[in-house]
Amino acid sequence: MSERETNAGPNPGQASILVVCGGLSTERDVSLSSGHRVRGFLREAGWQVTIHDLDQTLLDYLTAPATRPDLVWPLLHGADGEDGSIRDILDMTGLPYIGSRAKASRTAWNKPIAKNVVRQAGLSTPHSVTLPESIFRELGARQIVDLMVESLGLPLFVKPSEGGSAMGCSLVDTPDRLPQALINCFAYGPVALIEQAVNGTEISVSVLEIDGRLRALPPLEIWTPDGIYNYEARATPGPTKFYAPARLSRQTLAKAQEAALTAHRALGLRDISRADFIVDASGLPLFLESNVAPGMTATSQLPQSALAAGYSLPELYSSLVRSALSPGRSDSPNAGSESFREPGLPSIA
């Protein structure tokens, strides 16, 4: 990989990096796996990397002169790391970090709000409604079911309005299954998003922002035997198959990449993101959600897309580190950025 884009940043061994992972969210195990893999790749590239859990000793570690890192990479999944809270804390410490700022993280974390934002930016997204648990219990399950089915039709996806790794998500193909799906969903949050289930190809498109330049990696197709990419399929190797690039036309792949770049910009994201889409029969990518802390496990989508594009993960992660440590880095997301749909030969060093 070329050094031309990263010569403003430090070299490995010249900066200390703290990877924050774990926490107490329902996605703790995924976060720990992501954190340890990133630490391993960065150490392979020569960086000084330490891992720290989200606990009562973290603030002391971040602020004490003997341990204060040069850069933080928050790899917390779930509410701990993606709702903006940890990023607010990092901003108060004055430490640079990889990833989106707090406000943008909160916007992306809330699926209904994110869908509205990207819709205003010109993207398509499946029709949906939100339902608080209190309304569900006060109005009654039968009345809610009848109204939802009449309004949105079947099948439907029921998912927490805030959350990740498909926890609390259900595919509902008959009216009698909707009440239990909602009850399961409310175990993970007080508000449900009920969304039309579009028949199509599920893909994810990862976006990298390095030295102010945006790149959309090749879209990754996710195939499962039952058509449901649930938590178990995401967290563990199994029958799920991934295709990078996705088995779609070049025109559709390009549209998906452009849509991911649009979502990244519209939501005000920074450094790294992953947008999930369902591509319908006409080849139109329909936005589902954006993730500000994409998983980095062995089965996670961003690393697979990067490897399929020919990138070395140690060098790619080093590029993100150097970019975040660059003296000229702007706090404004996407300031002066260029966009590339096709990464071609690896050029991020």
Q: Which two tokens stand for residue 285?
A: 């990518």
Q: Among residues 27, 82, 202, 209, which one is catalytic? A: 27
Q: Which residues are annotated as a binding site for Mg(2+)?
A: 276, 289, 291
Q: Cα–Cα distance between 149 and 52 in angstroms, integer? A: 46
Beta partners for residue 291, in sequence order: 274
Q: What is the reported pLDDT for 330?
A: 60
54 and 22 Cβ atoms separated by less than 8 Å: yes
Taking only the tens place, the pLDDT of each residue in 82-116 is 999 999 999 999 999 999 999 999 999 999 999 99
Q: Which two tokens stand for residue 171?
A: 């595919």
When the pLDDT of each residue in the chain is averaged and rounded to a whole number, the result is 89
Residues 213-229, mean pLDDT to the nearest whole number: 87
* Whether the predicted pLDDT of 344 surpasses 50: no
Residues 142-159, mean pLDDT to the nearest whole number: 93
Q: What is the reported pLDDT for 317?
A: 98
Q: What whole-number percentage of the chain has pLDDT above 90?
A: 76
Taking only the tens place, the pLDDT of each residue in 3-55 is 333 344 677 778 999 999 999 887 898 899 999 999 999 999 999 999 999 99
Q: Among residues 25, 34, 300, 318, which one is catalytic? A: 300
Q: What is the reported pLDDT for 341?
A: 52
Residues 243-254, mean pLDDT to the nearest whole number: 97
Name, in order, each residue with C-beta under 8 angstroms of 120's C-beta and a sequence gap of 6 or more.
266
Taking only the tens place, the pLDDT of each residue in 253-306 is 999 999 999 999 999 999 999 999 999 999 999 999 999 999 999 889 999 999
Q: What is the reported pLDDT for 336?
A: 41
The question of whether 300 is a catalytic residue gets the answer yes
Q: Where are the beta strands (DSSP E) in the chain?
A: 16-21, 48-53, 71-74, 128-132, 156-160, 170-172, 191-196, 201-210, 213-216, 220-223, 241-243, 272-279, 285-291, 339-340
Q: What is the reported pLDDT for 230?
A: 58
Question: Which of 33-37, 213-217, 227-231 is the least confident region?
Answer: 227-231
Q: Which residues are annotated as a binding site?
A: 276, 289, 291
* Whether the predicted pLDDT of 227 surpasses 70: no
The question of whether 134 is a catalytic residue gets the answer no
Q: What is the reported pLDDT for 10?
A: 73
The question of whether 82 is a catalytic residue gets the answer no
Q: Among residues 31, 33, 105, 165, which one is catalytic? A: 165
Domains of the chain: 16-100 (3.40.50.20), 108-123+199-340 (3.30.470.20), 128-196 (3.30.1490.20)
- 3-class DSSP assignment, residue 242: strand
Q: What is the reported pLDDT for 158?
A: 96
